[in-house]
Amino acid sequence: MTHVFHRNPQHTLKRAVRGQGVSLFDEDGREYIDASGGAAVSCLGHGHPDVIAAIKAQLDELAYAHSSFFTTQACEDLADFLAARAPGDLDHVYFVSGGSEAVEAALKLARQYFVERGEDSRSQFIARRQSYHGNTLGALAIGGNAWRRAPFLPLLVPAHHVSPCYAYRDQRADETEEQYAARLAQELEQKILEIGAENVAAFVAETVVGATAGVLPPVRTYLQRIREVCDRHGVLLILDEVMAGMGRTGHLFACAEDGVAPDILVIAKGLGAGYQPIGAMLASRRIYDTIVGGSGFFQHGHTYMGHATACAGALAVQRVIERDGLLDNVRARGEQLRARLREALGDHPNVGDIRGRGLFTGVEFVRDKADKSVLDPARKTHAQLKRQAMANGLMVYPMGGTIDGVHGDHVLLAPPFISTAADIDEIVERLARSVRDVLPA
């Protein structure tokens, strides 16, 4: 009997009792390699002494002070750290408790920015199908995860959606990456013109699509072309790096690899690595100055924004990543992960695509490699893979509905940045065994 309202009440969960390095341990003493970082959260693994010490020190000094009365040194120091490393002129940081809150803040800031400028008609948002931006109503409204949205459609504000950048399935054989990017940019421009540029506030996109479609990196020039379209029509570009950011792709900010800076950027998961709940919105100087020089007040807020203990923990996480050169390891181990996966599973008839950046990798499963046809959704192959991987001592992050919310299965891998070459080899061995157990070749 449990009094916890678990997200899946019909399923009995094991108790996690200890975490160490890349592994979690349950109440029976079984070890599980955390190959997905939970949900791409635990980038430093579990039990990192530097982060724990920083949190304890902050608690001894000050756990929490409400942001309408005080700022704190932990909050100021973390904002300084992020602003100094962010792309473009993203130099003001708004701290919240997670990714959904960060997206909500971004949407509200975009709207208020245009109201302050006297462009009140700009209230519409465009995002992409098969994207995910959070589970609060505003974030869910702009998101393109059909399965998550469906029960709540009557509660959601209208939003507009264009095609994802899904090269494996949507790039034509006669197209270069640049031509495919141009076609997608043209689709966005047509959507803006259809709505009326004077009515559009922002285009929202995950820099690298995460859980909904199984790690879709943008093709070359895609984000640059999108940036050009937004600029041409005065539309803000909001990049969601809740899952892909904070080093997960091998760059502190994932969009840096594409040479693009958004107007607003949101981060969470890897920011605090799971040691404390935290997320953040970074705003450009132009947007910040508009608010400060206008009403002088951002009409938004949460009780735990700028939480001192969460900020102290997150700053310790980021300092460890920088001090230990872990982004180099992310890039090296990510290349190793995909290379080993291709060696182990590349010839498997049900493995369609292995893709990703850094330690952010997706494996998409199919019925037939030749025509990329999908497995029967009724089989719930992704759920079977999760169960079998757990039985084999491996945590992965699976999802169904990869293509359209109904069809397609994938597994997402996001191992900790501290993973060694031996850890990666063991992850691949356990995953390959799990795949063969569920889908015998």
Q: Cβ(274)–Cβ(232) under 8 Å? A: no
Evaluate whether 177 touches 171 at the Cβ level (below 8 Å): yes
| H helical segments located in 143-259 | 146-149, 167-170, 177-195, 222-232
Residue 263: the pLDDT is 98
What is the distance between the alpha carbons of residues 311 and 318, in angstroms, rounded to a whole number? Answer: 11
Find all residues with CB under 8 Å of 433, minimum gap 6, and list them: 392
Contacts of 193 (CB under 8 A, 6+ apart): none
8-state DSSP, 204: E
Q: Under the phi-then-psi rule, with left for phi > 0, alpha for psi from -120 to 50, and beta for the rest, what region is 417? A: alpha
Sheet holding 264-267, edge to edge: 90-96, 279-284, 264-267, 236-241, 200-206, 124-128, 160-162
Tokens of 352: 């369609």
Which tokens belong to 337? 């992960």
The tens-digit pLDDT sequence of the chain (441 residues) is: 899 999 889 889 999 999 999 999 999 999 999 999 999 999 999 999 999 999 999 999 999 999 999 999 999 999 999 999 999 999 999 999 999 999 999 999 999 999 999 999 999 999 999 999 999 999 999 998 888 899 999 999 999 999 999 999 999 999 999 999 999 999 999 999 999 999 999 999 999 999 999 999 999 999 999 999 999 999 999 999 999 999 999 999 999 999 999 999 999 999 999 999 999 999 999 999 999 999 999 999 999 999 999 999 999 999 999 999 999 999 999 999 999 999 999 999 999 999 999 999 999 999 999 999 999 999 999 999 999 999 999 999 999 999 999 999 999 999 999 999 999 999 999 999 999 999 997
What pLDDT score does 89 carry?
Answer: 97
The one-letter code for the residue type at 240 is D
SS3 labels along 304-321: CCCCHHHHHHHHHHHHHH
Verdict on whether the full-model pTM lies above 0.85: yes
- 381-387-389-395 Cα dihedral, nearest 10 degrees: 110
Q: What is the pLDDT of residue 63?
A: 98
Cβ neighbours, 10 Å, residue 7: 7
Q: pLDDT (tens digit, 9 = 90+) per residue, 311-367?
A: 999 999 999 999 999 999 999 999 999 999 999 999 999 999 999 999 999 999 999
The DSSP bridge partners found for residue 33 are 23, 394
CA distances from 52 to 25, 57, 59, 96, 316 (A): 19, 9, 11, 20, 9
Each residue of 97-139: pLDDT tens digit?
999 999 999 999 999 999 999 999 999 999 999 999 999 999 9
User: CA 72, CA 294: separation in Å to the nearest integer?
Assistant: 26
Spatial contact of 99 and 268, defined as CB atoms under 8 Å apart: yes
Q: State the Cα–Cα distance between residues 106 and 102, nearest whole angstrom.
A: 6
C-alpha 233/C-alpha 196 separation (Å) is 9
